[in-house]
Structure 1
Amino acid sequence: MKKAYFSRRIYKNELSCYLIHELNGVLQTFNQAKRYAFHTLVREKRWGRQLNKESLHQVLKKKFGLNDYYANSARQEAAALFTALAELQKLYTKQTDEKIKDLKKKLKKERTKLTKYLKVKDSLIKGKLHLPKNSPFLKINNMIALPLKNETRIWLNDYLFEHQYLDVQIKRTKSRIGRLVFRLYRLEEKKQTYKTHIPSCVFGGKKLFKSQFTKEEYQQNHEKWQEVFQHARTKQMMISGRKDAKSGNFVFQYNIENQALHFTSIRGKAFTIPFVLFPYGQEIVNNVILTQQTCKNKKADGQPISWSIEDHKDYYIIKCLAEVTPNPYVNFSTSDGVIGVDCNVDHFAWADLTNDGNYLESGKLKFSIEGKTSGQITKIIEAKAIDLVDIAVQKNKPIVLEILDTTLSKTGNRYANKKANRLKSLFAYKKMIIAVTSRAEKMGIDVIHVNPKYTSVAGKLKYMRKFGISIHQAAAFTIGRRGLGYNDKPPKILHQYIVRHNIHHWRLWHTLNKKLNVRTHLFYTLFNVNTPHQSINLHDHHLTENERKKLFKSLA
């Protein structure tokens, strides 16, 4: 398992001027070589030919006066960035497909709406108003009414309805369709570009590059922008390790006894950075380096150790990247049961299960990330992840988590409910999973990952009323059962509403979820899974008239 450990801040006023000058020169030369290597790879890919007779490694050595270790690291970083951009293009293509799919649905909806308006318009031209079925309009004598959320609009005759409402809506809908068609064309064009274009990047960041034209302070003082931009382009350097090196790296060597980091510059001179301490992981760093130094057969059993230096203007941060042995004392046993966890936008819902999949207890750990920065959100989630793992430690049970990919789901639904889209955007699922997994690994708790399909639906229809818990806690219980290897099939009370029983149980949940499309809290009173011979209470007074009609239609 590869891990990175951060050193304390090494302030420049604690170092000699000669050392700072040498570090700045090394950072500048290394990043120049990296940028040259990256742009060479981009040009070769775009032009379809080799630019140099020699290898890129040899070119970097001669052009920038680097030794093998610096040249190899610069080439590796450039190649990694080039590969990452190519993968990013594939992701952008998938996201564009989602946008196109969503846009086509919206376009179909608007065209259907326009067709209805035009049919009403034709009926008015013929002299007899004909409103489509299931339309919200009401005709009382010669008057036409349209009930809206906050008001009711009324037209005294057909003429006013046609010219004050219908013609306006037809014009607006046609205009909206035109804009949607144009956006569809642009998305198709963009998708084609992602497939054919070889991407490049701006070292230092596009935002900072554009700020020379957009920020007043940089417009008036271009030299100041150049200084900031140059620092952003040359502030970081990483030297990859070698397994056959005595300390895992031929450029950097860490002294365990006095916590000093020795490195050899590009010119071949040796320097020492004193008091490089790792507040979170000093023992692990010492152990990794000591293991490498005492390893006899380094080519077979050695481990490379990479080092990175970051310049933060007033201080340096040094990172040690090493292969760490996973915690050997991890609780994998499910003999006592598991803790199922359902991740949500504002809380963790958890459920405690026995080894045979029975319910013990459940709860939720609430947090608020509305209006918080990315760093604040990370810290808030990490604090709750600690509380969650502590529950698993106290009960001596592994954790079961669902595997979700929210990358594409956050891209679509541009034309859906704004509040729902906002919550979907706030859902920091990846941060939650990383926080829980990292803490669990540290505390010796195993994390089991399961497919999340229809866990919320099964929990809502089968377990929510049965245990008197929320839908999220019911979903956490279903996730836990899936982690134990159990399949949740629909309860007997719902079997009479299933046409085909010989299909996969996920398909059954999908069918039932479409038929029972009502508000979530109604499932506390709609039916009782403990009374399988009864039927759904379609006359529940909590149901709205619209919900009752839908249920009668779908369950008929």
Structure 2
Amino acid sequence: MKVTINGPRYYKEELASGAFDLCIQSICCYNDFKIQMYNAIYANRYLPGSKGDILGLKKITYSAWMKEYGINDYYSTSLYAEVTGLLSSQREFRKWYLARIKDDLAARKRKIISLTESLTKLRAIKQTIVSYVRTGKFKRPYKGCMMKISGQTAFPGGRHVYALEEYERLVEQRIRNTNARLHNVQAAFRRRECKLEKLGKSNPDRILFGSMAFYKTKDTVGCDDTWRREFHRRRYRTMQATGRHTSRYGNYLVHPDETGNLHWDLPKGMGTVVFPKFHLARYEAEWRACFQCSKDLRQAVSYRMKRMTDGNGREYLIVSANFDLPDHEASADLSEGCISCDLNVDHLAWVEVDPSGKLLRYGKIPFDLEHKSSTQRNQIIGDVVSRVAVLNKETGRPLVFENLDLTTKRASMKYSVKRSNFLVSSFAYQKFRFHLDSQGSRKGFSVLYVDPAYTSFWGKLLFMRKYGISVHTAAAYCIGLRALERLDELIIPDVYGHLLDSKKQTGPYYAAEKDVALYKKLSGIRTHAFYLDLPDLGTVTKLKDWLRQNDKSCPAWYTAAL
């Protein structure tokens, strides 16, 4: 795992005479060349008429251009790596953004279908009321509609009662509102489609060094001397020296000496600047081990010089080192079983599974991330991961977690339930994964990630009632079985298999992505109903009728919905 650790601050008076100004000039020279190189490579790749022109230069060669800026081959390597990294990041961000737009379009399309169905039902209710007024006979508007009319009174369902004329006006108002809402969503859908088509044909956006957000402030605060100085400081802020493992100290431009000083060779013949008493905030021993070893084991160490300003407006320099931490992770050996975990918004459910797939023990670790700051969340998540690491230390079994990608889920939150959106937004999966990988590297435990598709569904069907556990603990058990490849434990019982077509009733169903038919059939049944001993009735309709009569814990509103 790569880490970037900062060294101490160096103010102007702490360096040799003139060294601070030389560093600032070097950073400006480095960034001038980086901006020119970025523009040239961007034009060469994306703008027409520059395919035969290396780096977009017509009147000057690349080597002469390097000589003009005083850039040697080592700095050229750092510059090229940084520039190509910027271009690659723009392309990847573009792919991610296009995927987000496609997911957003899918969410809008589902909303259009939902609004269209609602509008059709409302119009059917309106037509039923008109027909009732004319003929005096009530006809159910559509299948499953709970509305009834008796005399001049309308019963739309539930406890609400309206006069027929009043209810008709209410339905007309809902039709107008739904129709307007539908037109707005359709217009937004067309705009997003046009944007997707336009982005698919255009080139990636060009980077504005110094940040686009700050550059736009010139229109509000004014482009005065203060703004120009701040923009210049943001634009010319860092300088990088890429490491090479073939160098004696892991870097040809930067190297420490025996007295604890750090020497940095500046570009354009500006000499060498010495940073006295250089040390890292942490991982000092690991940093020195990268180059204080044999030639075969030597590792590259990259350095970055940053130009910063403290709260009093004083400028200082800070040098950070980037290097690989030694791999302390244990081998991911599943021959002894595993500790599988299911991560939720407010708790982490875990189970211990032996090599044969037997459930040994289980538990949960509660936590609360709602309305917490970023620092508090990091502390809470770190504590939870530490408690999970204790389980690994006690048993020696590797940890198994679900491999989630919430990009699609968060892109489709546009028309979801407010509470559901809040829970998805509060789900700090990436922070959990970062802490797992970080602590795993330091403490020496391994983490495996598996696809969690439909594990909650199969846990609900197969293991909730069998072991008397919650649906989240059952899902964690399914995650462990999937990691251990225990397919024999994931066979549909006959009581559920008979609900499928005859061609789909046999064989092990390892994760329902192979056949989502059963998931769709049983999606209307609440989770706690699966604690009951369900009979083999053959059809979902008969099963729901049985639940309506025998599920005593089922709320009245849910019984009516069944």
TM-score by length of 2: 0.85
| Number of the residue aligned with 1:378 | 378
Find the partner of 1:165 among 167, 170, 193: 170
CA RMSD in angstroms comes to 3.0
Instruction: Go from structure 1 to structure 2 and tell me whether the alpha carbon gap of 1:12 and 1:422 turns closer, same or farther (over 3 Å shift).
Output: same
* Cα distance in structure 2, aligned partners of 1:153 and 1:224: 68
> Matched residues in 1 for 2:44 and 2:141: separation?
62
- C-alpha distance in 1 between matches for 2:150 and 2:127: 21
Q: Could you tell me which residue of structure 1 aligns to residue 352 of structure 2?
A: 352
Letter in 2 for 1:399: L
Residue 505 of structure 2 aligns with an amino acid whose one-letter code is H
**Paired letter, 2:449:** H
| 1:401-440 equivalences in 2 (<5 Å) | 401-440=401-440
Q: CA deviation at 1:457?
A: 1.3
2:40 maps to a residue whose letter is: T
| Counterpart in the other structure of 1:116 | 121
Q: Residue 285 of structure 2 aligns with which residue? A: 283
Letter in 2 for 1:259: G
Shift of 1:30: 1.6
1:222-241 to structure 2, matched below 5 A, reads 222-241=224-243
- 1:292-307 map, 5 Å: 294-295=294-295, 303-307=299-303
Q: 2:92 aligns with which of 87, 94, 99?
A: 87
Partner of 1:138: 148
Q: Decide whether the 8 Å contact of 2:40 with 2:57 is kept in 1.
A: no
Distance in 2 (alpha carbons) for counterparts of 1:173 and 1:194: 31
In 2, the alpha carbon distance for the partners of 1:369 and 1:130 equals 51
Return the offset for 1:33: 2.1
Structure 2 vs 1, CA of residues 139 and 491 (structure 1 numbering), >3 Å: closer, same or farther?
same
Residue 60 and residue 319 in structure 1: after superposition, are their counterparts in 2 closer, same or farther (change >3 A)?
A: farther
Unaligned runs of 5+ in 2: 311-315, 537-542
- Per the alignment, residue 539 of structure 2 pairs with none
Equivalent position of 2:313 in the other structure? none
Give, as a single letter, the amino acid of the residue that structure 2 aligns with 1:428.
A
> Does the C-alpha gap of structure 1 residues 337 and 526 become closer, same or farther in structure 2, counting only changes over 3 Å?
same
Tell me what 2:14 maps to. Answer: 15
CA offset digits 1:120-175 (Å, max 9, x no partner) = 44555663575512234331212224357xx7361343xx443x223322222221
- Greater CA drift, 71-80 or 513-522: 513-522
Q: Distance in 2 between matches of 1:174 and 1:60?
A: 63
Task: Show the counterpart of 2:521.
Answer: 515
Instruction: Rate the CA distance shift 1:188–1:58 in 2: closer, same or farther, 3 A.
Output: farther
Tell me: CA distance 1:526–1:427, structure 2 relative to 1, closer, same or farther (3 Å). farther
5+ long unaligned stretches in structure 1? 530-534, 552-556
Amino acid at match of 2:370: E
- Aligned 8 A contact 2:5 2:322 in 1: no
Q: Partners of 1:29 and 1:485 in 2: how far apart? A: 57
Secondary structure class of the residue paired with 2:415: coil
How far off its partner does 1:438 sit?
A: 2.2
Query: Aligned equivalents of 1:104 and 1:35: distance in 2?
Result: 42
Distance 1:114 1:177 in 2: 9
Between 191-200 and 497-506, report the one with greater CA deviation: 497-506
Find 1:310's aligned residue among 300, 306, 309: 306
Taking a change above 3 Å as real, the CA distance of residues 81 and 265 of structure 1, as seen in their structure-2 partners, is same
Question: How far off its partner does 1:304 sit?
Answer: 2.9
Give 1:223's aligned amino acid. Answer: D
1:56–1:89 CA distance, 2 compared to 1 (3 A): farther
How many residues are paired up? 528
Structure 1 match to 2:254: 252
Query: Is 1:319 matched with 2:320?
Result: yes
Q: How big is the shift at 1:399? A: 0.7
Whole-angstrom CA distance in 1 between matches of 2:20 and 2:349: 51
Q: Could you tell me how far apart the structure 2 residues matched to 1:54 and 1:427 are?
A: 55
Distance 2:516 2:530 in 1: 16
In the TM superposition, residue 265 of structure 1 has moved relative to its aligned partner by 0.9
Post-superposition offset of 1:366: 2.4
- Between the aligned partners of 2:300 and 2:61, the Cα distance in structure 1 is 23
Query: C-alpha distance in 1, partners of 2:372/2:268?
Result: 46
* CA distance 1:137–1:226, shift in 2 (3 Å): farther
| Aligned partner (choices 537, 541, 546) of residue 552 of structure 2 | 541
3-state SS of 1:308 partner? strand
Q: Which position in structure 2 is the counterpart of 1:554?
A: none
- State the Cα distance separating 1:411 from its structure 2 match: 0.5
Is 1:154 the equivalent of 2:176? no
